[in-house]
């Protein structure tokens, strides 16, 4: 009985989970992960919810702070420079530019000892470095 219930559950799961035949770039995956933070930064700039569409990533660079020494942690993060389209597409949207600091415990070579045992994607922090309107 239990075996047939498990088989039924697996069959239903295969039916409900459908792969979408589409290519996703690493840039697209990164933007999908940080998009809620981008919306929050835009809301803070304009004082209300706005439609936001990522346009172009100009640069992604690795930034490290400190010198590698035995027993000393090195701070590191990614800096993301990109443009976004803000506003209704039919209502003259503005092209804004944002620079973000994307940080996680494993960036920069210093990994906390227990991080590899179960670090979560929620451990990623996104901070606004600079916002340039239109």
Distances from the Cα of 73 to the Cα of 26, 37, 110, 121, 127, angstroms: 28, 27, 6, 21, 21
What kind of fold does domain 23-132 have according to CATH?
Nuclear Transport Factor 2; Chain: A, (3.10.450)
Q: What is the DSSP letter of 23?
A: -
What integer pLDDT is reported at residue 67 of this predicted model? Answer: 66
Closest CA to 86 of 50, 48, 55: 50
Could you tell me which residue, 100 or 25, shows the higher pLDDT? 100
Q: What percent of the chain has pLDDT over 90?
A: 34
Distance, first Cα to last Cα, the chain: 63
pLDDT digits (tens, 9 = 90+) for 43-71: 999 999 999 999 989 998 888 876 666 66
pLDDT digits (tens, 9 = 90+) for 108-126: 555 555 555 555 666 788 9
Q: Where are the domains of the chain?
A: 23-132
Distance of CA 10 to the CA centre of its chain: 31
């Amino acid at each position: 009985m239990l075996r047939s219930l498990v088989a039924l559950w697996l069959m239903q799961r295969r039916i409900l989970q459908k792969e979408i035949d589409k290519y996703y770039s690493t840039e697209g995956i990164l933007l999908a992960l940080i998009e809620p933070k981008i919306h929050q930064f835009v809301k803070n700039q304009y004082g209300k919810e706005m439609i936001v569409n990522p346009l172009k990533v100009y640069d992604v660079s690795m930034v490290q702070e400190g010198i590698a020494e035995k027993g000393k942690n090195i701070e590191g993060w990614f800096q993301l420079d990109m443009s976004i389209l803000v506003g209704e597409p039919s209502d003259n949207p503005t092209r804004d530019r944002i620079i973000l600091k994307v940080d996680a415990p494993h960036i920069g070579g210093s990994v906390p000892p227990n991080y590899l045992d179960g670090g979560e994607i929620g451990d990623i922090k996104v901070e606004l470095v600079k916002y340039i309107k239109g």
